[in-house]
Amino acid sequence: MNKRISILLMWVTFSGLLLAGCSRDPLSAAIRDIEKGQLQNAEQILAQALQEDPSNINALVNLYIVQYKNGQLDSALSGFLQVAELAPNDPRSLEYAASIQMDNNHWLEAADLLGEALKRDPRSPSVQTALALVDLNTSGPLPARDRLLKTVAETPAYPPALFNLGVIYRDWLKNQSESRKYFQRYLALEKNDPHTVIAKLVMNEKARKSATATSPVPATLPRNPQLATEAFTRGVGHHQKRENEKAIAAYTQAIQNDPSMVRAHYNLGLLLRDKRDLVQARTEFEQALAYAPGMSDARYMLALVMIDQGLDVDATEQLTTLLQKTPRHAEAHLALGLLYKKNPAKRDLARKELNAYLKLDPSGASAKDIRNWLKYLQ
């Protein structure tokens, strides 16, 4: 999946409802917490609101947005589909469900959901813009361009469609003049959106080409994929020779030139964890998952960093999510079993996970210790 446009669409989709229909407490407080990344606080507020009114649609949807941001994609998807049935005239939950399907490269499923959303609101620019992403990944840039042109003809002041047109003209159709035209229209409307930095770079191509490798790079648009690949290759070479500082510098340069390079984020996270820079290591693994939610190694390492940080509850959630999708991940069973082992009330769960580890990797490095521990957990 090409993340250059999809990230913008996800931003539009999942920020949209956070500002809708929630002008009063407690939902406004929950929304502020979501925007600040304080998801646990938001979840508690929303759960309380739903205890008082289980049919509160805005509370339900924002709760599923929290689940989505926590990586609980299956639960969030199921919840959005449930809300879509509870609110049959509202297309938003179908859009959110479609975003999750797109995040997993399930383009046909996303198209079906967006088609139903379009029946509910035939003039919705956000649905049309999301469908353009489906077009791009299933039919190519021309159908995506045509759909976006129709969208901006009907809704001339819709920034996401203008931005995406600029990207398609620039990176797929190689039409710089048209690209600049749409980015210029986008910039006339948006001032504080993080994506404005991308449009400004495009409007000043000479400055962009002469920028040094350490210059800030927007998180949604690779600046120079070729330089990124070269830097990543150097990083792997240094990594293999245990020249860790040089490897860190090379991986960082790769990410600066192509923020969507998942393996660069992952490898950098490994080295930063070794340095005990846990905050930045966690950020790198989270970035890897943002681009590749199904990357089991990244989710496993994120859980280990959380354990290092003393965040056992968060680590348990990550490992549980991982094992739902990758049940034969032996090391994840081991890590989860050891977390449960800390709590005497969860010894049955600890035995289950540790036995699963032994079944999958009976001669693993930790197998002997686990067998000894299980004797005392019986």
Residue 224: its pLDDT value, please?
A: 63
How far, in Å, CA of 26 to CA of 19, rounded? 13
Angle at 150 between CA 124 and CA 116, to 5 degrees: 35
Question: 3-class SS at 5?
Answer: helix
Cα atoms in the 13 Å half-sphere on the side-chain side of 162: 22
Task: Report the pLDDT value the prediction gives residue 319, as an integer from 0 to 100.
Answer: 95
How many C-beta atoms surround the C-beta of residue 234 within 10 A? 17
Q: What CATH homologous superfamily does 222-303 map to?
A: Tetratricopeptide repeat domain (1.25.40.10)
Q: Per residue in 250-276, is it b (16+ CB within 10 Å) or e — as a string?
A: bbbbbbbbbbbbbbbbbbbbbbbbeee
One digit per residue, the tens of pLDDT, for the chain of length 378 reads 333 333 343 333 444 334 333 334 567 788 777 767 778 888 888 888 888 888 888 888 888 888 887 778 888 899 889 988 988 888 888 988 988 888 777 888 989 999 999 998 888 888 999 898 888 878 888 998 999 999 999 988 888 888 889 888 887 788 888 989 998 998 888 776 656 766 777 777 543 333 322 222 222 333 466 778 888 889 888 888 889 999 999 998 888 877 778 889 999 999 999 999 999 999 899 888 887 888 888 999 999 999 999 999 999 999 999 999 889 899 999 999 999 988 888 888 999 999 999 999 888 788 888 888 887 665
What CATH number was assigned to the domain covering residues 1-118?
1.25.40.10
Provide the pLDDT for residue 195: 66
Task: Kindly report the CATH number that applies to the domain delimited by 139-218.
Answer: 1.25.40.10
The domain segmentation of the chain, as residue ranges, is: 1-118, 139-218, 222-303
pTM here? 0.51
Closest residue by Cα to residue 102 from 135, 124, 142, 69: 135
Res 320: pLDDT: 94
Location of structure tokens 């120079």 = 224
CB atoms within 10 A of CB 320: 13
Equal CATH topology for 1-118 and 139-218: yes
List b or e across 82-108, with b for residues whose CB sees 16 or more CB atoms inside 10 angstroms.
ebbeebeebbbbbbbbbbbbbbeeebe
